[in-house]
Amino acid sequence: MTISLSKNAMFVLEKRYLKKDSNGNVVETPEELFARVAKSIAAADKIFDSKGNVNKTEKTFMQILTNLWFIPNSPTLMNAGRRLGQLAACFVLPVEDSIESIFETLKHTAMIHKSGGGTGFSFSRIRPEKDVVLSTAGISSGPISFMNVFDVATETVKQGGTRRGANMGVLRVDHPDIEAFIESKNDLGRLNNFNISVALTKTFMDSLEKDSDYDFVNPRTGQVVKRISARNIFDMIVSSAWQTGEPGIIFIDRINENNPTPLLGEIEATNPCGEQPLLPYESCTLGSINLSNMVTRNTVNKKRLKRTVHSAVHFLDNVIEINKYPLSRIEEISKGTRKIGLGVMGFADMLIKMGIPYDSDEAVSQAEDIMAFISQESKSASAALAERRGNFPYYKGSVFDNPATPYMRNATTTTIAPTGSISIIAGVSSGIEPVFAVAYTRRVLDGKLLSEMHPIFIKKARDEGFYSNELAEETARTGSVQHIDAVPDHIKKLFRTSHDISPVWHIKMQAAFQKYTDNAVSKTVNFSADATINDVEKVYSLAYKSGCKGVTIYRYGSRSGQAMSIDDKKGVSVKVVPRPRPGRTYGITEKISTGCGKLYVTINSDQQGLCEVFAQMGKTGGCASSQIEAAGRMISLALRSGVKIDAIVRQLIGIRCPSPSWQDGKMVLSCPDAIAQVLKKLTNSDFVERETMMCACPECGGVLSHEEGCLICRSCGFTKCS
């Protein structure tokens, strides 16, 4: 059997999922990968029924995988049937208020990251900065200092892994260090291995609505140490999120209102992307149904969807059983609650196939209908499994412990999780996000530029007679078709991208899915670059009123290296701070003739675009060499401070020295002029235009998109969230 996969899908599979030999050569086909996974996961049936038909289960799993109807989370695809065998995507670990607990958790974190998982923590139990330390008569350094320790450890462990360790740091809004926590990532060089979220309580939200004060509570003593305006703290959160996209917010009391096993304790933290609230030592077992492939004749095939849901629940329950957990405590708790998270991908593509614009009431209605159906059928499938295999061990005292639900195999069944890599494999839009770009240009390994266009858009454009190569090139410049006259209005409505859709519709869609989702919904609310702080505030308030469990926002271009301070009276003042140089950059070196000799100009990029220039003149030394080095350093500083390339070029081009030269029919007036010409040449290419405007993937040079609470490359599957 041959699976039909896109070039991007094959690239991602070969890079991240298929088996390789000791020399790094791929030794597995996609068909063999799916067969390996299906066989390994189906084998769990033997644990519960020695006479069970494992072959039949294997064929069922193979069908939903090869038809791209359902795909499990990345660790399952990577590790099922292999030596490592760690199949869970994310974990939450406890952080207690002692050095012993903190560093025990740090050790466990390293073990989890080594196995390919991401971790979430609440640092809310750690005593605040400058609080007393009784054992030494010293003072505490506070939770943020320990977050820095976890960040450095993550950076060290991830160097050798195929999946990057990622963390979520949560702090309660009533912790005395919350102000420092809110602004902890405004310096873009700090905590790069963390997403951070503020846990907002009902008390805080009530105080905010009443415009009153609330209590800061020392977690060591339980005593109130200060009362402060809820409005002031909320304004800090909104302002910081507007600047950098962080912190996110989670409504922690709402999450605990939906805690299925309250006798086990309160939920304090989530996984790195925020969609999976977990108790300490719980793990998440996730997978997503491809809604695009559930459409037949412009309508959702409910019969196929039901069959897929039941097979997927069976699959994920088996994953829990055969997973090789990194810690015995994690195995105990995970098998005790048996939480699974069945989600979706390709929702935007489903709407396009059905002729429904994403930002419409009809789309919101479809979201509720689809997720209600998946929720109902997943509970039915879990109950059927429980009749044969037994209820989850912590069923007693859970929300299901009543005559109406005598059987339930899994404490939760639904989660809308990020689908970055697996949606590329399936060839569909991510999760419940809108289409990120109708077309874009990506740089492949040999340095060539390839234009990628949405396959359904191509079909519709050809069917309606407006497709052309010029259309593809024009669309790739911005990713949107809203400004292109050749595209009919009804097509524009269907292909509105993340940045074409207003933030309010993002929240409406998130709330529609959350209504029928046990856990939470991973989604990014996209804002245009000119969005105001007030716009962000409105979205946060709407999310709370709409029943969401959390919010992640990203304002276009907000991580450009500008540190902004907000003054209610004076407005916005901008202090330009160069972003730090990462450990690894990539780029090109070009040779250019000058009057002083051959000048070698190297231009490097990081995730956010061009970041540095090095120039070297053959064997020359002394004054000429130092001046060239100085020019490179200042250009690099300007690039990392967000100065536009055109502005740099304008300052350098035309500078003359006594010895001009010629290259390729153009006069090179000086070394600074030569550097400017190399920059100008790149500026006119798609390479710079796309990477500077939309952020570049550090691995393949493709476009990074802010989706599902994370940075994702749709070209190679790179993600900053594990």
195 forms beta bridges with 168
Instruction: For the beta carbon of residue 65, count every other beta carbon within 10 angstroms.
Output: 24
What are the structure tokens assigned to 671, written together?
A: 């070394």
**Residue 272 near residue 720 (C-beta atoms within 8 A):** no
Per DSSP bridges, beta strands 299-300 and 277-278 are unpaired
What are the structure tokens assigned to 199, written together?
A: 């846990």
Query: Cα–Cα distance between 722 and 113 in angstroms, integer?
Result: 9
**Residue 669 near residue 654 (C-beta atoms within 8 A):** yes
Query: Cα–Cα distance between 37 and 151 in angstroms, integer?
Result: 33
**Residue 61 near residue 308 (C-beta atoms within 8 A):** no
Among the options 195, 268, 273, 700, which is catalytic? Answer: 273
Residue with token string 């030494």: 136
Per DSSP bridges, beta strands 118-122 and 90-92 are parallel
**Residue 554 near residue 525 (C-beta atoms within 8 A):** yes
Q: Tell me if residue 275 is catalytic.
A: yes
Q: Tell me if residue 271 is catalytic.
A: yes
DSSP 208-232: HHHT-EEEEE-TTT--EEEEEEHHH
Give the CA angle between residues 183, 210, 523 to the nearest 5°: 50
Cis before 406 (ω within 30): no
Among the options 193, 271, 293, 318, which is catalytic? Answer: 271
Amino acid at 162: T
> Rounded to the nearest 10 degrees, what angle do helices 361-389 and 302-322 cross at?
50
Query: Cα–Cα distance between 578 and 588 in angstroms, integer?
Result: 22
Torsion of CA 544, 550, 556, 557, to 10 degrees: 120
What are the structure tokens assigned to 458, written together?
A: 């191509």
Phi, psi values for residue 403, rounded to 5°:
-60, -25
Query: Cα–Cα distance between 604 and 588 in angstroms, integer?
Result: 7
Give the CA angle between residues 284, 288, 293 to the nearest 5°: 175
What are the structure tokens assigned to 338, written together?
A: 């048996």
Among the options 183, 268, 275, 707, which is catalytic? Answer: 275
DSSP-derived secondary structure letter, 42: H
User: Does the CA dihedral 248-249-255-256 come out positive or negative?
Assistant: positive
Query: Cα–Cα distance between 520 and 92 in angstroms, integer?
Result: 15
What are the structure tokens assigned to 219, written together?
A: 């977690």
Query: Cα–Cα distance between 419 and 73 in angstroms, integer?
Result: 8
Query: Cα–Cα distance between 486 and 468 in angstroms, integer?
Result: 10
- Which burial class, exposed, middle or buried, applies to 534 when counting CB atoms under 10 A from its CB (0-12, 13-18, 19+)? exposed
What's the half-sphere exposure (Cβ side, CA atoms, 13 Å) at 525?
31
**Residue 64 near residue 308 (C-beta atoms within 8 A):** yes
What are the structure tokens assigned to 43, written together?
A: 């084998």
Query: Cα–Cα distance between 407 and 661 in angstroms, integer?
Result: 83
Query: Cα–Cα distance between 591 and 602 in angstroms, integer?
Result: 9
What are the structure tokens assigned to 118, written together?
A: 């991401």
Phi, psi values for residue 683, rounded to 5°:
-60, -30
**Residue 479 near residue 439 (C-beta atoms within 8 A):** yes
Residue with token string 């640092």: 123
Residues for the chain: how many in total? Answer: 722
Active-site annotation, residues? 271, 273, 275
